[in-house]
Structure 1
Amino acid sequence: MEASTAQVNELERRIDLSVAIADLEQEMEPRLKRMGRNLKMPGFRPGKVPFSIVKQQYGSEARQEVLSEKLDQAFGAAVTAQNLRVAGYPSLEPKANDSTTHLEFTAIFEVYPEITLGDLSAAEIERPTLEVGEKEIDNTLEILRKQRVRYENAERGAAKEDRVVIDFCGKKDGVAFDGGTASDYPFVLGQGMMLPAFEEAIEGCQAGESKTFDLTFPEDYQAKDLAGQTVQFEITVKQVQAPRLPEIDADFAKMMGVADGDVAKMRNEVTTNLQREVKRRIEARIKEQAMDALLKANTLAVPGALVNVEINRLMESARNDMAQRGMKVKDFPLQAAWFADQAKRRVSLGLLLAEIVKTAKIEAKPEQVQELLKDMAASYEQPEEFIKWYNSQPQQLASVEGLVLENNVVDWVLGQAKVTDKVVALDDLMQGPGQAA
C-alpha cells in the first residue's frame, strides 16, 4: 500500500492511495474459505460447498471487504505519519489508471483547524446583578396569580384584560378575503393577539353588540396582498368576560403545591425558586457574552463535516420536539439551511472551548461536579435520589462534567476580559435569553 498527500485549502486534504491487486487476491482466498466453513447451500452439506462456487457467489463481496480494509489501513497510516487530525469521514474516489498491478483512489477529507487563541483583553462583558427583595417576590406572585386567572361574564363594555368571544368577517372591496373570517373566536384584549386598531374597535362593546368599521393594515403586514390596504370588518361580540384573579390565601397556596395551605411557606418556596431562576438567568447572560467574546476574538475555519453532523443533530432534536408537541413532523419538512448558522456557531465554540481547556489546563473538579448536581437537584422532591442516580450513570455524569468545564471556561474568559457589574430589573432579566448557545 502506498499513499501521497496534497493540501487543497486550509482544511481540505487529498491523499492518493494505492493498493496492490496481488495483496487483494492473496487475502481473498483465506477469507472465502472462512466464509465457506459456515455456508449453507441447497444440495450441499453445511461447510462442504465447493470453493469455486463460494468464490463465484461471494467473490465480489469478499473483494470489496478486503479492499475497504486495505484502504482504511493505508489512510490511517498516512494521516498518522503526518499527524493529521481528521474531522469527519473521508470520501473515496477511484482514480482512472492503466496499471495492471495496482488500484488507485483519492481520499478527500477535512482536518481540524490549527487554533491560536485571540486576545480577549479588549472584550467588554456586563455582569448583571439583582438582589431578590420583597418587590421582586410580590411581582412574581402577581404573575402566578395571572397565570391562574378565571373569567366571569361581565354586563358591561369590553375593556383591556377582558376575554372576548367574537364572530368577524373582513372584506376588501366588498369581498371576503382569506383568513379574515372566524366564528366564536376567543382572545384577551391587550395581549397583542390582534392588531391594535382591531382591539380598539372592540373596546367598549357589550355582549350581543355588532359593529362595522374600517381597518388599514400596516405596510409591513405579513400577508403582502393586504399590507397597507384598507378593509372593512363586521364583528359581533358574543361574550365579554372580566378577569378574576385568585386571592393569595390558603387555597392559592395549595394550588402552588403547599399541601397544608401555609401562605408563609408558599412565599418562602417562591422566594427560593425565584432566587434559583435569577441565578440561572444571570449565569446564562454572562455565558452568552463570554461565548460572543470568544467568537469575536477568534476567526477560524470550521470543518464542513462537523457542521453537517451538528445540523443533523439539531434537525433531529427539532423533530423530536415537534413530535412531543403533537405535531406531524412529516407534514413539516425541515430544511438544513435553517440550522446552518446555529450549527456553525456551536461547532466553532466547541473547537474554541476544547483549545482553551487544553492550553489553560482547565478541568472539572469532582467537588465542582457534585456542587452543580446539588444545584440541579434542588428543585426535585428527593434531591438525594437525584444525585445518587446521576452518580451511578457514567454517561449522565459526563454531561454534568461537561457543563462544569464550560462554566470554568467562562470564568477563564471573565479573567481575561473587562467585566463591569450592571444592576438589572427582574422583568428585563426574565425577558432575556434563558440559556447560551
Structure 2
Amino acid sequence: MQVTVETTSGLERRMVINVPADKVNSEVDKRVKDTARRVRLDGFRPGKVPVSVVRQRFGQGIRAEVLQDVVRDSYVAALDKESITPAGYPRFEDVKDEDGGNIEFTAVFEVFPEVELGDLSKVSVEVADVDVSDANIDQMIDTLRKQRSEYKAVKRKSVKEDKLKIDFVGKVDGEVFEGGSATDQELVLGSGSMIPGFEEGIIGMKAGEEKTIEVTFPEKYGNNDLAGKAATFDITVHEVLKPELPELNEEFIKELGARETTVEAFRAEVKENMEREARQALRGKTKNDVIDQLLELVSFDVPAAMVDQEVDRLRQEAVQQFGGQAKIDASQLPKELFQDQATRRVKTGLIFSKVAEQHELKAEDAAVRKYIEEIAGVYQDPQSVIDYYYNNREQLNQVQAAVMEESVVAVVLKDAKVTNTTVDYYAAVKRED
C-alpha cells in the first residue's frame, strides 16, 4: 500500500492511498465463493450454484461491498502508518477501480491543531465563597412558605402578592385582538406573568370593581402584530384573595420531607442545601470566567468537522428540550443557531485536553465519589442516587468529565491572578444575563 499526504490548507490533509489490485480481487473471489455456497437460485440445488453464475448475477454488488470495506480499512491502516490522528470523519474522493489496476482513492480530513497555552498568569479570576446568613435562611424559608400559601377572600383593595380572579378584554386601536381576553383568570399581583403595566394597573382594585387600563406591548414581543403597540384592557375583578402563609411548625417541615422536624434542625438543613447550591453555582461561574479568558488567550484553528459534530449534538439537545417530539427533525434546525456555541465547546475541549495532557490529570476515584455524593445529598435517599450513578456508565462518564474540568480549572487557577471574595447566597445563585 502506497500513501502520500498533502497539506492543503490549515488543518486539512489530502491523503492519496494506492491499494494493490490483488487485495481487492482476492477478497471478491472469496465472497463470491461464500455466496455460491449460501445462495438459493431456481434451477440449482442448495450449495451447488456455479461460481460463474454467482459472479455474473452478484459480482458487481459484491465488488462494491468489498471496495467500501477496503477503502475504510486502508484509510485506518494509512493513518497508523503515517502516525496521524484525524479530527472528525474523512471525506473519500476520486475512488479509482479500473479493471486489472490498483485501487486508488483520496481521503480528505482534518487533523488536530497545535494548542499553545501561553502565559496563564495573564488569566485574572475572582473566586468567591458563600456565606449563608441567617437573613438568607429566613428569606428562603419565607419563599418555601409562600409556595404553600392558602388564599382566602378579603373585602379590601388588592395589594401586591394578592391573588385576583378577573375577566379582561384587550383591545388595540379599539378592536379586540386574538388571545387578549380571558374569564375567571387567576393572577398573583407582582408575579410578572403579564406584560409590563398590566399588574401595576390593577393594584388597588376591589372585588366587583371594573376598570380600563392602558399598557404598551414590549418592542420584543412574541406576536409581531402586537409588538410595541399601545393597548387597553377592560378589567373586571370578581375576587381578591389574600395569601396566608403556613406556620413554621413540625407539620409544615414534615410536608417538605426534611430529615428532622424541629425548627432548629430544619434551618440547619436549609442552610446546608443553600451552601451546596451556592457553591455549585460559584464553581460554574468561575469555570466560565476561566474559559472566557482562555479562549481569548489561546488562538488556533478549530477543526470544522468537530464543530459540525458538535452542532449535531446541540441540535439533538434542542429537540430533547422540546420533549423529543417526533415532528421535529433535528437536522432541519438551522446550523447558524448553534455554530458559535459549538465552536466554543470544541475550542474549550481542545484547550482543556491540552492542560490535562501537560499536567497528566485524570478523574480520580475519590474526587468522582465526592462529586456524586454532593449531587446525592439533596435527595431523601442519597445511597440510591449514588448507586444509580455507579450503575449507569453514561452518567458516570459525565461525572468523570465534570471532575476533569474542575481539575483543569484548578490547575489554571494555580498560575492565574486570583482574587478571593465572599458573597451571600442570593448573590451566588444570581443568574448572569
Q: What TM-score results when the alignment is normalised by the length of structure 1?
A: 0.89
Does 1:336 pair with 2:335? yes
CA offsets 1:106-136 (integer angstroms, 9 cap, x no match): 2221111111112221221111122223222
Structure 1 residues 417, 80: closer, same or farther in 2, change over 3 A? same
Distance (Å, rounded) in 2 between the aligned partners of 1:382 and 1:231: 52
CA contact (8 A) 2:196 2:215 kept: no
Percent of aligned positions that are identical = 37
Secondary structure class of the residue paired with 2:374: helix
Offset at 1:411? 0.5
Question: What is residue 57 of structure 2 aligned with on the other side?
Answer: 57
Residue in 2 that maps onto 1:205: 205
Instruction: Return the letter of the residue paired with 1:11.
Output: L
Query: Secondary structure of the equivalent of 1:330?
Result: coil
SS of the residue 1:48 aligns to:
coil
The answer to whether the 8 Å contact 1:281/1:433 transfers is no
Tell me, what secondary structure is at the counterpart of 1:246?
coil
Alignment of 1:63-212 (within 5 A): 63-94=63-94, 101-212=101-212
Matched, 1:355 2:368: no
C-alpha separation in 1, matches of 2:202 and 2:382: 51
CA deviation after TM superposition for structure 1 residue 81, in Å: 3.4
Distance 2:17 2:326 in 1: 46
Larger CA deviation: 401-410 vs 96-105: 96-105
CA shift digits 1:388-416 (9 cap, x unpaired):
55445555544433222211111101111
Which SS does the other structure have where 2:117 is aligned?
A: coil
Query: Aligned equivalents of 1:6 and 1:129: distance in 2?
Result: 52
Change (3 A) 1:389 1:234: closer
Match of 1:274 in 2: 274
The code of the aligned residue for 1:142 comes to: D
Does the residue aligned with 2:322 lie in a helix, a strand or coil? helix
Distance 2:356 2:383 in 1: 31
Counterpart in the other structure of 1:426: 425
CA 1:32–1:189 in 2, change beyond 3 Å: closer, same or farther? Answer: same
TM-superposed CA distance for 1:425, in Å, is 2.9
- Identify unmatched segments of 5+ residues in structure 1: none
Cα distance in 2 between the residues matched to 1:384 and 1:225: 54
Report the counterpart of residue 17 of structure 1 in structure 2.
17
Greater shift in the superposed pair: 291-300 or 68-77: 68-77
> How many Å separate the matches in 2 of 1:98 and 1:28?
14
Provide the aligned C-alpha RMSD in A: 2.8
Preserved contact between residue 133 and residue 424 of structure 2 (Cα < 8 Å): no
Corresponding residue for residue 366 of structure 1? 365
Decide whether the 8 Å contact of 1:3 with 1:74 is kept in 2: no
Q: 8 Å contact 2:211–2:235 — kept in the other structure?
A: yes
Question: Does the aligned pair in 1 maintain the 2:260–2:266 contact within 8 Å?
Answer: no
Give 1:317-332 correspondences, 5 Å limit.
Answer: 317-323=317-323, 330=328
- What SS is found at the alignment partner of 1:352? helix
Query: Which residue of structure 2 lines up, in the alignment, with residue 376 of structure 1?
Result: 375
CA drift of 1:221 comes to 4.8
User: Does structure 2 retain, via aligned residues, the 8 Å contact 1:124–1:419?
Assistant: yes
Cα offset, 1:417, TM superposition: 0.9
Alignment-derived partner of residue 47 in structure 1 = 47
Deviation string for 1:142-181 (max 9, x for gaps)?
1211222222222222221112232222222322223323
Ranges in structure 2 where 5+ consecutive residues have no aligned partner: none
Q: Determine helix, strand or coil for the equivalent of 1:211.
A: strand
1:231 aligns with 2:231: yes
Pair 60,152 (structure 1): closer, same or farther in 2 beyond 3 Å: farther
Aligned to 2:283: 283
Give CA-to-partner distance per residue, 1:301-340, whole Å, 9 cap, x none: 221222222222222233233227xx67539974433222
Cα distance in structure 2, aligned partners of 1:432 and 1:231: 32
Change (3 A) 1:361 1:74: same
Q: Which amino acid aligns with 1:330?
A: I
Partners of 2:390 and 2:396 within 8 A in 1: yes
Q: Is the 1:3–1:75 Cα contact (8 Å) retained in structure 2?
A: no
CA distance in 2, matches of 1:151, 1:384: 38
TM-score (norm 2): 0.89
Residues 2 and 74, structure 1, Cα contact 8 Å, conserved in 2: no
The letter for the 1-side match of 2:328 is: K
Aligned equivalents of 2:72 and 2:96: distance in 1? 20
Q: Structure 1 residues 34 and 273, CA, compared in 2 at 3 Å: closer, same or farther?
A: same
